[in-house]
């Protein structure tokens, strides 16, 4: 089944303790991205990746890192989490070829609480 | 700056009433336009895309390039339409930005 898988689904952590949220897709998509969803603010893009070893900042990259060492995986890293990073996070992927009207597929979300 | 505006954060209608969720975009070039929906406790999923010109679950959306709008419409809302709706223009490199979303509640 074609899908985007995030882990963990729920995470409670303490301020300053490094964490990684994994994202994996099995559709051979080139484009992957991370969003955070907050009430009243909608979905805001954190980072995106056009292809392996190509990543770029989205609208709210501060406090986050990503890597794209292989096509299928795009982990989100919080080196020193803070309470303002408490949010619902979504990973998404799409085919990524220019000039194609391609749909984005989303993971099931990771609810992160930083205390 | 590229911008997507969904002016209504909350929209409430009665079952059977028409509904329109507004979306205005500000982009250079000609983006592809999508509407995504998120039902309670589910992941976001594609509702429709303008290039397909299709009706999904009774919803349609018309692209108005002059007004840079892509409003989502349904003539008769159903309770199961209650969800969060996001308008999403996409660059031709598939970089996708989302509006703030509109939470639609359809009351019985």
Confidence band, pLDDT 50/70/90 cuts, at residue A8: very high
Q: Which pLDDT value is given to residue B28? A: 67
- Is A7 within 8 Å of chain B by CB? no
The Cα diameter of chain B in Å comes to 42
Of B45, B96, B98, the CB nearest to A42: B98
Residue A39 in 3-state DSSP?
Answer: coil
Measured in angstroms, the CA of A33 and the nearest CA of chain B are apart by 9
CA distances from B61 to A46, A86, A102, B53 (A): 28, 34, 17, 8
CA distances from A21 to A16, A77, A109, A113 (A): 15, 6, 10, 13
Residue A90 has pLDDT above 90, yes or no: yes
Mutate to test the interface with A, among B38, B44, B86, B92 (most CBs of A within 10 A): B44
User: Per-residue pLDDT averaged across A50-59, rounded?
Assistant: 91
Confidence band, pLDDT 50/70/90 cuts, at residue A52: very high
Residue of higher predicted confidence among A85 and B41: A85
- Is A98 within 8 Å of chain B by CB? yes
Of A40, A42, A98, the CB nearest to B93: A98
Give the CA radius of gyration of chain B. 13
Q: Which pLDDT value is given to residue B32? A: 81
Q: Which pLDDT value is given to residue B94? A: 57
Distance CA A50, CA A102 (A): 14
Q: Which pLDDT value is given to residue A75? A: 98
Cβ-Cβ pairs closer than 8 A, A with B, add up to: 63
- Dump strand ranges (E) for B1-108: 3-5, 10-14, 19-21, 24-26, 32-38, 45-49, 60-64, 69-74, 83-90, 102-107
Of A33, A42, A101, the CB nearest to B101: A42
Give percent above pLDDT 90 in chain A. 79
């Amino acid at each position: 089944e074609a899908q985007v898988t995030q882990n963990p689904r729920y995470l409670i952590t303490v301020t300053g303790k490094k964490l990684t949220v994994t994202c994996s897709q099995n559709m051979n998509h080139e484009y992957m991205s991370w969003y955070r969803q907050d009430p009243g603010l909608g979905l805001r893009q954190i980072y995106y990746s056009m292809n392996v070893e190509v990543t770029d900042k989205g609208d709210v990259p501060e406090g986050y890192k990503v890597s794209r060492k292989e096509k299928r995986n795009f982990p989100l890293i919080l080196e020193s989490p803070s309470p303002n990073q408490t949010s619902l996070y979504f990973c998404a992927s799409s085919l990524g070829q220019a000039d194609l009207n391609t749909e984005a597929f989303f993971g099931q979300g990771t609810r992160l609480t930083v205390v | 700056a590229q911008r997507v505006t969904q002016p209504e954060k909350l929209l409430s209608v009665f079952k059977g009433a028409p509904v329109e969720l507004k979306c205005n975009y500000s982009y250079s070039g000609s983006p592809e336009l999508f509407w995504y929906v998120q039902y309670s406790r589910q992941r976001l999923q594609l509702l429709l895309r303008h290039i397909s010109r299709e009706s999904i679950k009774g919803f349609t959306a018309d692209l108005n390039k002059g007004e840079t709008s892509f409003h989502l419409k349904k003539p008769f809302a159903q309770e199961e339409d209650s969800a969060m709706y996001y308008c999403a223009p996409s660059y031709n490199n598939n970089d996708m930005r989302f509006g703030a979303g509109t939470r639609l509640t359809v009351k019985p």
